[in-house]
A and B are shown apart, each in its own frame.
Chain A
Amino acid sequence: MTMPFTHADWAAIVPVSVVAVAALLVLLADFFVSGERGRYVSIVIALIGLGVSATLAAKQFGHNHDAFFGGFMTGGFTTVFEEIVLLAAAGSVILYANSGAAQRVAGTIAIMLWSACGAMLMAGAANLMMIFLGLELLSLGLYALCAAADRRTARESALKYLILSSTATGFLLFGMALLFGATGSVRLADLVTPMLIYNPIYWMGAGMLMVGLLFKLSMVPFHSWTPDVFEGAPLPVTAFMSVATKAATLAVFARFIYAALPLGVGDRLLIPVWIVVGISMVAGNVGMLAQTNLKRLLGYSGIAQVGYILVALAGSTPLGLRYALYYLTAYALMNLGAFAVASAISGEGEEGAEMRTYRGLAYRRPWLAAGMTVFLLALAGLPPTAGFLGKILILASSAANGYIWLGALLIIGTAISLYAYAKVVRVMYSREEAPAGHEVRPYVPLAWASAALCAVAVVVMAFYPLTPSNILPLVR
């Protein structure tokens, strides 16, 4: 009897396996080292695993291989998304240096790494089964991670995420079932049959799939869970969710609209999507205005930022995909950096999320305040940061593809968002003295290093607009 899968098939998911094995090693190491030292051992093992995986994934760049009968496709697109997920995982794992009880860190890091495996599978998923498998692996881990803090809000966050995320998964799964019913195949490549345009079952399936994905991307009107879940979850988990979940879902969304839509469907199916995106860019930014909690603020900000990325995809041009990847990378760095600063000023039983923690930060910790300023200005799209160039590229893409109205909404949303971002900057730099009880926190070298690297990267990216050119095709 021959093996159904070849060696090349297994090679395709080696980067994913490395992360999964690293998670096992983290758990194993926890038997031998415990306490505060165990915390750092877990983080170091996880970072090494993520680094090895990133190296191996980079080697697959440009090698288009259709593994597992069209289940997982390696190549430029998959590699880039895998790298972004790995970056998000590394940036979030580092935050455990100053978060959570020491005895629980190894377990939570392991679950986070397995969640990252799910996100990486979604990055390369080229059939409906693999999309669902990756999504569930990602989400199951996140439910546990959200609850992993001794606070009522954490359990509230986990329960809310479980219920709403399951609803979204329901939509997604039902949509997939209908698509399978319409085509008789789970491969994305088989969904492009021209005759499908006359099949109502196809339209229902594609529509429900879209709803599920928009739910996961927290686009209006499916966005209200995001700030609550972000607020309640532990800081590293919020960081991970704000980048990795969105990146993985964006990968699925991009692959679907670029490679799995029959001719003529895109125009009709996607118009409501672009309208939703336009509303999200404004609503997310308006939602930010009243927030006094950094995690909620970044939750709303993420709604709008993902909207910006989707604007680049409008028109489904290869160039637009490259700009989306550029902005996604920049967004990942900005968010991870902002959370690293928040982690660096966290203390016992208090996360650096409340706005009052930031009062007068510039006079206690000038470098951290400067770093936070860079990230917030980048999110607002001010120079000299990658956020500025990313916005320009997206605006140009929207103008070139005939979606200038989305560009105009992006501009309006950005104008609103500046107030919310700059409010944090003002709190840090205003002369009001910090309230009593906010003594200077000790240095957290890992969080500081992470913030510094992100800040440098965000500025440097503005001058070297590296966008991967070798990312197509998305399916075979």
Chain B
Amino acid sequence: MSLVLVTILLPIVSGVLLFALPRTSETAARAIGTLVAAATVVTTLVAGESQWSFHWLSRPFTAAFHFGATPISFWLALLLAICTACAIAATRVSRTRDMVALILLLEGAMMGLFLARDLLVFALCWDLMLIPVFFALVGWGEHPATAWRYLIYNFAGGLTLLLATAAFGVIYGSTDVIGRSAAPFAGGWAEWIYAGFAFAFLVKTPVWPLHTWMPPTYSGLPSPMVSVVSAVQSKAGLYGFIAIALALLPAYVHAFALPLIILGAISLVYGAVVALVQNDAKRVVAYSSLSHLGLIVIAVASGNPLALKGALVYIVAHGLFSAALFIVLGYVEEREDTRSLSRLGGLGWRNPRLAGALCVAALAALGLPGLAGFAGELIILIGVYQAGYVWAVIVALIAIVAASAYMLRLYQDIMNGPPDDDVPVRPDLSWREALAVAPLLAALVAVGVYPAPLLGAHAAPVVTTSSRTP
């Protein structure tokens, strides 16, 4: 059996088998889950760009269960595997076994999404990855309406993706097209097909005004699950833009670039402004995500090769720091039973390790040089400037200044100030908790200092897709 297939099936099969474990064996579930996710890190690295294919449909168009990493999806798969391993290691919620199983199922579905070389398989995994999150929202969420909003929004996106895929398959004859240097697609329905893809991708990312499902989902999910969702699932749409829309329909991405950039810019500013005034710590990070992902949408839409390279770096960087932020905020909530910034305060005195972890993650999020966020932002801004969208760069710079404000506010309100008598004092991070977040922080430093491997990944597809190179 191919290693690619193992990478996808291992988490799914182990996730299902975990339900056979006794409900009370939480430590065992967490240990097994962490080991499985760590194993997928290894298999992703070893599998490299090998491929595996199994015939599925021959009519009305050919489709195959065709999996294999491309230079871009390799990094996303790696990010997914690392974030999942850390998130599971950090899991401590009620019914831990079920949560670990759901996170593993989510990993499997997303692994399939990123490694899919067939558009129909991509659409299948796109819908598949909604289900574990829906179950988590139903079983652990704070409000039932959140689960509905998540499901309906994303399923609507999934359906337009499905219709566009079906139309594409009928016209093109095959959906086995991801990562191939095929001729760009054109035809009578091409605009509509692009519209179907773009809607699905924009809902998932999300951008303003399709983002309303996102803040309640991020604050309602338990922190291990949300760290995976925010770090990786939100990248599915961006990956779709890069691997599908830019590769197959480049002319339409360029033709409709301006609306995308405007939407990205609005998300960038809107997210930053709203993040400044949130009281719920998880919502601060949720809106900051909206803002950061808006920047990546601008980068992708600008079509500049440098901006695209920066987009990949920033995708990975955002994945790492948002996973770390949500895991650390989960630790805080576990200790103090609240996420309200007005109630928290002064934790830093008694919990230096907790404070240190949050500090590194927050600094990466606000774009401190030397950490991953900075590398991505800088390259994107240069690229977008080269592409001629100077106003977008100026808007982005304002939002990046605001990022420092809300990230530092988040850190100060939780860690600094006098210890609050109202908030009970709990022990600092245990070894398990520290080890769960350490790989993410280490990776943030590594990517910040040496982003070269990520920059090299883009070399192949960009040449064929960019037409706006100055």
Contact = CB atoms under 8 A, between A and B. Distances in A.
Interface of A: 319, 366, 377, 382-384, 388, 391-393, 395-397, 399-400, 404, 407-408, 411, 414-415, 418-419, 422, 425-426, 429-431, 463, 465
A415 B156 contact: yes
Contacts of A414: 159
B152 interface: yes
Contacts of B388: none
Given A382-B127, A407-B166, A430 B144 contact: yes
Nearest to A377: B131
Nearest to B63: A392
A429 B166 contact: no
Closest 6 CB pairs of A and B: A395-B166, A396-B60, A396-B166, A383-B124, A411-B159, A399-B170
Given A383-B124, A425-B138, A411 B162 contact: yes
B134 interface: yes
A388 B167 contact: no
A422 B19 CA distance: 21
Nearest to B61: A396
B59 interface: yes
A429 B135 contact: yes
A426 B138 contact: yes
Contact of A384 (B128, B138, B160): B128
Contact of A396 (B19, B65, B128, B169): B169
Nearest to B140: A431
A404 B124 contact: no
Q: How large is the interface on B (under 10, 10 to 19, 20 to 34, 35 or more residues)?
A: 35 or more
Contacts of A422: 134, 148, 151
A418 B131 CA distance: 12
A426 B144 CA distance: 9
Contacts, number: 79
A382 B128 contact: yes
Given A399-B170, A400-B170, A415-B159, 19 more contacts: A382-B130, A382-B131, A383-B124, A384-B128, A388-B124, A392-B123, A392-B162, A395-B166, A396-B61, A396-B166, A396-B167, A397-B60, A407-B166, A408-B163, A414-B159, A415-B152, A419-B151, A426-B147, A465-B57
A392 B165 contact: yes
Nearest to A428: B138
Contacts of A399: 166-167, 170-171
A125 B332 CA distance: 71
A415 B155 contact: yes
Contacts of A411: 159-160, 162-163
B375 interface: no
A404 B168 CA distance: 12
Given A392-B162, A414-B159, A415-B156, A430 B139 contact: yes
Contacts of B61: 396
28 contacts: A366-B19, A382-B127, A382-B128, A383-B124, A383-B127, A384-B128, A388-B127, A391-B162, A392-B123, A393-B60, A395-B163, A395-B167, A396-B169, A396-B170, A399-B166, A411-B162, A414-B159, A415-B152, A415-B159, A418-B152, A422-B134, A422-B148, A422-B151, A426-B138, A426-B144, A426-B147, A430-B138, A430-B144
A425 B160 CA distance: 23
A223 B127 CA distance: 31
Nearest to A366: B19
